[in-house]
Amino acid sequence: MERLGKHRFEKHKKIVSDKLYFSNKYYIVTIFTNITLLIMLLSIIASIMRFLPNTQSTFQLSNVSLCSEQDEFPKVMTSNDFVDDKGKVFAGNVWQCDSSDWGSDCVTESGANRLANCSLSQPKHSNICAAGCHYDRGCFASGDNSSVVVERKSRQILYGQNVHLAMGMASTTKIMTALVAIENCPLDRLVKIPKQAVGVEGSSIYLKENELWSVQDLLYGLMLRSGNDAAVALAVEIGGSVDNFVDMMNDRVAAMGLEHTHFTNPHGLSESGHFTSSFDLAMITCEALENVDFARIVSAKSYEVQGNETHPKVVFCNKNKMLGMFEGCDGVKTGYTKATGKCLVSSATRGNMALVCVTLNNPNMWQESIFSLQKAFDEYTLVKVLDKNQDLFVLESGDKKYRFRADNNINIPLKKSDNVNIDYCIDCSDVKTISIDKMQNVGKVYLNINNCLIFCEKISSIDSIKDKAIIKSLPNVVGDGCLENQYGKT
């Protein structure tokens, strides 16, 4: 009996052991299978990610669209999307500004001298005198990225960080490329694609040698899909060579009076000597957006290129997600290289105020651009401080009155909480003529906020003048005046 019991025990032990073996083997096989499935899933996800927007994936252009489901625009966001449950903003610390008064260097004896004393110049051909004079702006130097928000018409800086720091700009270069192309070539001109434009490194619309594309179609490929090959094709067609076209780009920058920008190519691939600042790029963008063709192109979410005997039809979808992420966004360009980091230039219009936001080398470019623009719209309003339909001054001779007015309205962005002193200076000292025609320019009016010059505008005579005494007195019209600050009356 004892032997029989031992035998049964050994048999039972073996059965249990076998069950444990097979059970463990089953679990091992199950774990291995799950790991295999996980690896396959990650591989599938990686494959899908290759076709998301802003990638360098190759598309075969055979009557297909460069659009996909992933190109759908996200929901409209506001600054509240970037505030946590404790009210802390996590889009960045850009707005932790110092208390320095940037306008202190601009306070001089007269309005005419203030212009010479302001440290930062504006485009020489424009009426904006000195955006470097900020009476209480949130600008400071910190970190290795750069950003700025400006009001488009006045070119006034509303917020900024390292605004004059020279940095790479990646494909935001193409803002100037497009502007120079539009200003120097008919949009309907047909371009025969040169060999030099085929297979250019980086983003591409996959041009082939000898294809025929209109300048307009190339511009949409340049600005919506960031085609480096489109940039080269336009440069060769318009400049005769890439180098000549780059010279045209640099000449355009010099004409604007910008000192922290230099181009070495038309597409933005990183090269030594190819740089800008967020302020300069904002000024270039404001200038470009004044061109109706440029504004139309960069505001498009998609564009269809009609096929011809040399290439098939293709649809370009804009890589700029801001067009769908931010209410009122109407442009303009994304950019990225490993050397420059993520770059974004955005424009937005709400009511009568239009803004441009530039951020360079910013890994959170979408979030911070949204936050910056929303903050500016929330805190500022555009105020008409000088009306072109109102007389600046009147000179009398007997029973005749001669009226003088600003050529244009002067609208400036002011903080809704600002308590500012607005005044102007009139200078007609350069008048040297024996007669004045109707609407002839006779001088300038300089606008000051808190004793800091920020804007100037031409003054013209509303009437024709032949009275020599009146004309002789004009150079002596150097006066000051005060303007009432009435918010909302724009």
**How many residues are listed for the chain in this entry?**
490
Residue 43 DSSP one-character state: H
Distance between CA atoms of 18 and 12, rounded to whole angstroms? 10
Side-chain-side CA neighbours of residue 348 (13 Å): 26
pLDDT of residue 433: 81
Q: What angle do CA 463, 464, 467 make, to 5 degrees?
A: 110
Residues whose CB falls within 8 Å of the CB of residue 56, separated by 6 or more in sequence, listed in order: 202, 203
Angle of helix 174-184 relative to helix 278-289, nearest 10 degrees? 30
171 is an active site residue = yes
Known active-site residue 174: yes
pLDDT tens, residue by residue, 35-52? 777 777 776 666 555 444
Average pLDDT over residues 124-146: 46
Residue, of 32 and 427, whose pLDDT is higher:
427
Pick 73 or 15 by higher pLDDT: 15
For residue 412, give the 3-state DSSP assignment. strand
Residues with Cβ within 8 Å of residue 471, at least 6 apart in sequence? 431, 433, 434, 435, 436, 465
Q: Spell out the residues 6+ positions from residue 135 whose beta carbon is closer than 8 angstroms to its own.
A: 101, 102, 103, 420, 449, 450, 452, 454
The answer on pLDDT for 94 being more than 90 is no
Pick from 151-160, 208-217, 395-404: least confident: 395-404
pLDDT grade for 190, boundaries at 50, 70 and 90: very high
Q: Comparing 58-62, 123-127, 156-160, 232-236, which segment has the lowest mean pLDDT? A: 58-62
pLDDT, tens digit (0-9, with 9 covering 90-100), for 360-369: 999 999 999 9
What confidence tier does 472 reach under pLDDT thresholds 50, 70, 90?
A: confident
DSSP code of 326? S
Q: Between 418 and 56, name the one with better pLDDT.
A: 418
Distant-in-sequence, close-in-space partners of 49: CB < 8 Å, separation ≥ 6: 55
The pLDDT of residue 71 is above 90: no
Contact 315, 306 (CB under 8 A): no
What's the confidence (pLDDT) of residue 207? 97
Cβ neighbours of residue 382 under 8 Å, at least 6 residues apart? 151, 153, 351, 352, 353, 411, 412, 413, 490
pLDDT tops 80 at residue 115: no
Residue-wise pLDDT tens digits, 315-328 = 999 999 999 999 99
Q: Which pLDDT belongs to residue 102?
A: 27
Catalytic residue among 226, 277, 299, 461: 226
pTM of the complete model = 0.71
The C-alpha atoms of residue 240 and residue 231 are separated, in whole angstroms, by: 13
Confidence of residue 422 (pLDDT cuts 50, 70, 90): confident
The class (CATH top level) of 69-74+163-380 is: alpha beta
Active-site entry in 171, 203, 278, 346: 171
474-to-64, 353, 366 alpha-carbon distances in Å: 67, 35, 52
Of 153, 174, 321, 333, which is the active-site residue? Answer: 174
Cis status, amide bond into 332, omega within 30 of 0: yes
Residue 124 bears catalytic tag: no
Q: Is the pLDDT of residue 86 over 70?
A: no
DSSP annotation string for 249-313: HHHHHHHTT--S-B-S-SS----TT-BB-HHHHHHHHHHHHTSHHHHHHHT-SEEEEPPBTTB--
Which pLDDT score, from 0 to 100, does residue 348 have? 98
CA distance 358 to 368: 10
Cα–chain center distance at 78: 18
Predicted confidence at residue 202, as pLDDT, reads: 95
Determine the pLDDT at residue 142: 46
The overall average pLDDT reported for the chain is 77
What is the rounded average pLDDT of the residues 321-336?
96
